[in-house]
Every structure is written in C-alpha cells, then in structure tokens.
Chain A
Amino acid sequence: MIKRRMLLLIILLFTLCCSMILSVSFGTKSIQIEDILGAFGIGDVTTFGSEVVRARIPRTVFGVLAGAALAVSGGMMQSITRNPIADPSILGVNSGASLFVVCGIAFLHVNNNITMIWLAFVGATLTAFCVYGLASIGYSGATPLKLALAGAAAGTALQSMVNTVMMPDTQVMNQFRFWQTGSIGGATWNDIYTMLPFLTVGFGLSLMLSPALNTLALGDDMAVSLGINVFAVRLLGTLAGVLLCSATTALAGPIGFVGLMVPHLIRAVLGPDVRWVLPLSALAGAGLLILADVLGRLFGRPGELEVGIVTAILGAPVFVAIVRKVKVSTL
C-alpha cells in the first residue's frame, strides 16, 4: 500500500508540474522555452515573451490553490456527511454565496475582494448548514437523495432571490454575470494574498481532523466509544470545508464538480484512508483545475472557455457514473 501511495504521489506531483508549465506557456500568445526561463530570471529576462509568462504566473498559482481547496473541501464534506455526492455545487453552497455577493454588489456597492470573500463566506456557511440541517431532520438522516433534493430546491429559491436583486439594475447584472461563471482568468497576486489566510486555516483544520474523520467513518457510536467528540469534529470539519470552498468561490465564482470527482477518483485508487485521501486530493484537484484551464484556453480560441464550464463538462459524466454505482454509500 505504501508503495502505491508513493507512486500515486509521484505521478500527481509530476502531472501538477507539467500542467503548471503548460499553463504558463499555452495561451493566445505562444511562448518559447527561453521566455519561460527568462520569466524566472534565467538568461534574457527582458523579452516580451517573458513578460507574458510573468502575467500568467498569478493565474497559475491561483488555479493551483483554488483546485486544491475545492478538492479538499469536497473530500471533507463527503467524509463528514458520509455522503458520496456531497459537493459545494450540489449542496447549494454556490447559490448561497451568489445571493450574498449580489446583495453586496447591489446594496453595499462592494468592489473590494476581502469584503466579497466575507460575504460569500457568510452566504455559503449559512446555506450549507441550512441545507444539511434540513436534509438530516427525520429518520435515516441525510441520505444522498434527500441532501441533493434539499440542495437543489434551496438553489432554485436562492436563484430567484438573486434575480430579484439583479434584474432591476443593469449595472449589477453586468458585474454579476462575470462573477457567476467560474473563472480564474482575472486572478492577481492581490487575490492570492487575500485568499491565503482562509486557505491556510482550512487546510490546517482538514489535516488536523483527518485521523478523527477516519474514526468517524466507523459510525457515530464507535467513534464516541473510541473517545472522539463527534459533534466538535463535524462542526470544525464543516467549517473547514465551507471556508475552503467559499474563499475560492468568492474570488473565482462558482466552479463545480472538482470537489465531487477528485476525492472519488483518489479513493478508488487508494482506499478510504482520509489522512492520505485529503492531501492527494489537493494535488490532484490542483492539477485538474490547471489542466481544465489550459483546455479551456485551447478549445475556446480565439477567446477562452471559462474553467467552470470545462470542469462541468468533465464532471457531469463522473457524477452520473457515481450515482449509477449500485452501492453508493460505502464511505
């Protein structure tokens, strides 16, 4: 098993490096290898090409962070809810964040990122807890079906409220539709610095909690008798998951399906040990998001296809496959 883990780790690291290189070199203007070296201070540092590469670096870094955050967030939510289809986009978290962001744009005239993050964070947290709470009332707890329906229905209602705020005002509508499609194209270093503290807390909490999550997978009763404070683990875990996805959503807009598919793929290879699934999901999620971004640039020429669209195109078949698996609840 340890050999397999190492192998997967190496493969994922390699893929991530390759996709990062692709990400800085592909685009509307193609780039020579000297330009890439130049951008990092080797050789001729003043060419036009190296400037282009330098402009693409924040986008790539942002993509790595966002992908890792989304994948870990999805993995956390799946472990905590013990529900295979838990994902920010399915739980209606994105629509909650949308509502708060659009209210911020319309009523408070927000245009700085740190306030947007906080708004999205509050919206996402409220929605996540409401949806999960609603779905878990009653007997048999939050089954995949109840959770998905609660999320979808809450999403419909929230979307109508977003429309109410947005429609009378063309300017708000215009600003918002750019936010609504997940994209990492406009990322700057400032965005990354803003996002970093949130992500650090989120990743840290996730790693700290992963042994406890392993125990939780045995069932609540077993976990309690093994000395785990189930309530605290759930609460902190949800907090970490929501923190990760809402920070990303606030800056990049809703990017769906990354959190859904990556942990499943990793689990399929490695088995369910959370301590390994989460870090490797982070690597794989980062690689996937960057690759999706590169693909979007390739296929969307002369413009580009937003990364949220590409992940949706890649993710929908995976989702259908997960649902079709007869035993979906083996978490």
Chain B
Amino acid sequence: MRKGYFFRRRKYVIICIILCLLVTCLCLFEMSYGKTTYSIPYIFKVLGSSQAMEGDFTIRTLRFPRVLAGLLTGMAFGMAGNTFQKLLRNPLASPDIIGVTSGASVAAVFGILVLGISGTAVSLMAVISGFAVTCFIYMASGGSRHNGLHFNGGRLILIGIGVQAFLNAIISWMLLKTSEYNVAAALRWLSGNLNDVSMERIPILGFILAVAGTGILLLNRQLQVMQLGEEFSYSLGTKPETVRLLLMLCALFLTAFATAVSGPIASVAFLSGPIARRVTGDGRGNMMASAFTGAILVLLADIVGQYALPARYPVGVITGIMGAPYLLILLLRMNGKGVSES
C-alpha cells in the first residue's frame, strides 16, 4: 500500500514536470513567433542587455508582458477555479459561473465608462468589487448560524448565478449608454484579453500569486479532508469554517487580481481543474497541475486567437468556445453520477 502511495506520488510529480515543460515551450514559442520571428537565444540576449537592439520594442514591450500576463493569469485562474470546485464539491462551480468574475468586471466597466479612469485605479476597483460581491454571495447563502441556515454549497451556487444575471444586466446597460469609442476598451473586461497588457501590473499579480498560491497549497491537505464531508473533518481535527473562509479568500484574491490584469478569461477557471484531474488521474488536490493547465490553456488560446484564425480574437473568446464541448461532456458525466443537491 505504501509502495502504491509513493508510486502515485511520483507519477503526480512527473506529470507536473511535464506540464511545466509544456508551459515553458508555449512561452518560448509565443515570444519568438509572430510577424517577425526571432530565434530563442536572440530573445534572451535582448531581454538581458540594456542597450537598444533590433526588435527591442517587439520583444520587450509587446511580447514579454503579454506572455508573462498569460502565464500568471492562467495559473491564477486555474488554481482559483480548482479551489472553488473542490470547496463546493461541484465541477461546475468555478468563479466565472458563480458571479465572482462578474463582480470584478462590473466595477471595471463602471470605472472605464462612467468615471473615465484607467490603469491601476480600474484594477483596484475590480478587486474591491469582486471581493464585495463574493462576500455578499457568501453571506446570502447562509454563512451565519443564527438564522437556522447552515452553509450549503448548492445555495451558494444558485445565489451566485442569480447575482451574475443581475450584474450582467447592469454591464450591458452601461455598454449601451456609452459612446461607440469606449465600447472596445470595456469589452476587454467582458471577454478577457491580453492585448495592451503593460508591464507595471504584472509584479502585483506575481506577488499575489505567490502568496495566495502558497496559502492554497498549504491548506490543500485540509481541503482534501473536507472532501470527505463536514463530520469527518471535525473528527479529523480540521475546522471546516476557518479553512473554507481562508481558501475562499485566497481563491478570491487570485481571481480578482488576475481579472484586473486580463479581464475574465472565460472558462479557464472552469476547465483547468477537471482537465488536470483527468491528466493526473488522481484524487489529490491537483493544485499545481491545475495551475499549469490554466497557463497552458491561456497561452495556447492566445496563440490560436492571434495567428490561427482569419481575424484576431481576444483570448477569452477562444477559451470560451473551447469550453463549450467540454462542458457538454462534463455535464453528461456529472449527471450520470449525480451531484450534491441544493
């Protein structure tokens, strides 16, 4: 039995390394391929040197932030999505479906269209609003004890969907009221886009990813215990309330800051966890694997959206469409097994 455990563990590590290598390949490919193709050693030379060289603008200002943003947002969305899905024990309960990302988007669109601000201020508003909306959803689904409702993942999902429908109505109204000129800027916040990502927003996301990601990895063991059910986790010495709150906070920070950089890249949070699970074939937390899967999805979709189609599409549109067939399979499989009832 112990041997089996080590075998599975080794398999998981190997798969993670393979995924990581894939991510690196995609990053390098996206750095080098484009209208002018540069060789990989040359890219490193440009990034390393301080003098201006040929292709300096393309590599440093256009491609490097784009690739970094794709990598980091992908990892953040993948991890956050997997955390939500595990916490609510439902493979469909990712932040983009239960209203967290809409919460961030609505403030960002408001900031851009109504207040006319841009850059860091928009990101900050998105983060705060995503936070507020999630708190509201959590509270409304009966987080407190005195009203006789105990925490119920199903109710949280339902309320999240209702809130999302509400926020979407507000967003489409703001889009309608604004001038045609502003619509394009706002649409970035609605579909997810890596064009015109600037370098200054990336360190914050990197920092948040490091902190919240570590938090999630540390709590992963408790999360696995909680998968067994509330009663078990009490008797095994885990406090589900605290762990749930901490995990939700981490996942929320990841989602909100990633949304602040790239907009809500559709379906990545929702797809990464299940794909990682399929690849590793393992009931473990799969957090690292989902983070890498998220990054692969975003980078791949970005490459496809930029070069493989007749028109250039933002990355979120491609991932959204990738999500559709997978969704069908997932629903069919999930319904075969049955899910937790509301």
Where the two chains meet, the residues of A that have a C-beta atom closer than 8 Å to any C-beta of B are 85, 89-90, 134-140, 143-146, 148-154, 156-161, 163-164, 167-168, 170, 173-174, 177-178, 180-182, 256-257, 303, 305-306, 308-309, 312-313, 315-316, 319-320, 323-324, 326, 328
Chain A binder among B159-167, B225-233, B244-252, B291-299: B159-167
* Distance (whole angstroms) from the CB of A88 to the closest CB of chain B: 11
Residues of B within 8 A of A157 (CB): 267, 320-321, 323-324, 327
* Distance (whole angstroms) from the CB of A98 to the closest CB of chain B: 10
Q: Which residue of B lies closest to A173 (CB)?
A: B183
Q: How many residues of chain B are within 8 Å of chain A by beta carbon?
A: 58
Question: Are A320 and B90 in contact, CB atoms less than 8 angstroms apart?
Answer: no
* Dominant secondary structure of chain B at its interface with chain A: helix
Cα distance, A164 to B316, chains bound together (Å):
10
What per-residue 1/0 map shows which CB atoms of B123-167 lie under 8 Å from chain A? 000000000000000001110000001000011011101111110
Residues of B within 8 A of A308 (CB): 169, 172-173
Question: Are A163 and B92 in contact, CB atoms less than 8 angstroms apart?
Answer: no
Cα distance, A66 to B341, chains bound together (Å):
34
Question: Are B164 and A164 in contact, CB atoms less than 8 angstroms apart?
Answer: no
Question: Are A324 and B324 in contact, CB atoms less than 8 angstroms apart?
Answer: no
* Dominant secondary structure of chain A at its interface with chain B: helix
Question: Are A160 and B321 in contact, CB atoms less than 8 angstroms apart?
Answer: yes
A-B contact pairs, 22 of them (CB 8 A): A134-B332, A137-B336, A138-B338, A146-B335, A149-B161, A153-B270, A156-B267, A156-B323, A157-B267, A159-B320, A160-B316, A161-B321, A163-B320, A167-B317, A170-B180, A177-B176, A181-B176, A308-B169, A309-B173, A312-B166, A320-B163, A326-B149
* Distance (whole angstroms) from the CB of A161 to the closest CB of chain B: 6
Query: CB < 8 Å: which of B149, B323, B334 contacts A160?
Result: B323
CB-CB under 8 A for A149 and B97, given A160-B317, A163-B317 = yes
Cα distance, A115 to B157, chains bound together (Å):
37
Say if the beta carbon of B29 comes within 8 Å of chain A.
Answer: no
Q: Which residue of B lies closest to A139 (CB)?
A: B338
Cα distance, A146 to B267, chains bound together (Å):
18
CB-CB under 8 A for A153 and B327, given A143-B341, A148-B157, A160-B321 = yes
CB-CB under 8 A for A145 and B176, given A90-B165, A324-B149 = no
Cα distance, A135 to B331, chains bound together (Å):
8
Cα distance, A89 to B163, chains bound together (Å):
12
Residues of B within 8 A of A305 (CB): 173
Cα distance, A319 to B157, chains bound together (Å):
13
Q: Would you list the 8 A-B pairs with minimal beta carbon distance, nearest first? A: A160-B320, A138-B335, A312-B169, A157-B324, A316-B166, A319-B162, A168-B311, A145-B342
Query: CB < 8 Å: which of B157, B166, B183, B319 contacts A177?
Result: B183
Cα distance, A164 to B155, chains bound together (Å):
32
Say if the beta carbon of B13 comes within 8 Å of chain A.
Answer: no
Residues of A within 8 A of B267 (CB): 156-157, 160
Residues of B within 8 A of A303 (CB): 177
Where the two chains meet, the residues of B that have a C-beta atom closer than 8 Å to any C-beta of A are 90, 92-93, 96-97, 140-142, 149, 154-155, 157-159, 161-166, 169-170, 172-173, 175-177, 180, 183, 187, 190-191, 266-267, 270, 311, 313-314, 316-317, 319-321, 323-324, 327-328, 331-332, 334-342
Question: Are A180 and B172 in contact, CB atoms less than 8 angstroms apart?
Answer: yes
Question: Are B157 and A154 in contact, CB atoms less than 8 angstroms apart?
Answer: no
Question: Are A174 and B165 in contact, CB atoms less than 8 angstroms apart?
Answer: no
* Distance (whole angstroms) from the CB of A306 to the closest CB of chain B: 6
Question: Are B313 and A148 in contact, CB atoms less than 8 angstroms apart?
Answer: no
Question: Are B169 and A256 in contact, CB atoms less than 8 angstroms apart?
Answer: yes
Question: Are B317 and A138 in contact, CB atoms less than 8 angstroms apart?
Answer: no
* Distance (whole angstroms) from the CB of B192 to the closest CB of chain A: 10
CB-CB under 8 A for A156 and B266, given A148-B161, A323-B159 = yes
Residues of A within 8 A of B176 (CB): 177-178, 180-181, 306
Cα distance, A134 to B331, chains bound together (Å):
7
Most chain A CB neighbours (cut-off 10 Å) among B96, B159, B164, B176: B176
CB-CB under 8 A for A160 and B140, given A145-B342, A256-B169, A257-B165 = no
* Distance (whole angstroms) from the CB of A9 to the closest CB of chain B: 30
Q: Which residue of B lies closest to A143 (CB)?
A: B341
* Distance (whole angstroms) from the CB of B288 to the closest CB of chain A: 26
Question: Are B169 and A324 in contact, CB atoms less than 8 angstroms apart?
Answer: no
CB-CB under 8 A for A160 and B266, given A150-B331, A323-B159 = yes
* Distance (whole angstroms) from the CB of B97 to the closest CB of chain A: 5
CB-CB under 8 A for A312 and B165, given A145-B341, A153-B331, A164-B313 = yes
Cα distance, A158 to B336, chains bound together (Å):
24
* Distance (whole angstroms) from the CB of B202 to the closest CB of chain A: 25
* Distance (whole angstroms) from the CB of A115 to the closest CB of chain B: 23
Residues of A within 8 A of B337 (CB): 138
Residues of B within 8 A of A153 (CB): 92, 97, 270, 323, 327, 331
Cα distance, A157 to B321, chains bound together (Å):
6
Q: Which residue of A lies closest to B324 (CB)?
A: A157
Question: Are B165 and A256 in contact, CB atoms less than 8 angstroms apart?
Answer: yes
* Distance (whole angstroms) from the CB of B199 to the closest CB of chain A: 26
Question: Are A149 and B173 in contact, CB atoms less than 8 angstroms apart?
Answer: no
Cα distance, A89 to B183, chains bound together (Å):
24
Question: Are B342 and A181 in contact, CB atoms less than 8 angstroms apart?
Answer: no
Query: CB < 8 Å: which of A146, A168, A181, A315 contacts B172?
Result: A181
Query: CB < 8 Å: which of A140, A154, A256 contacts B338?
Result: A140
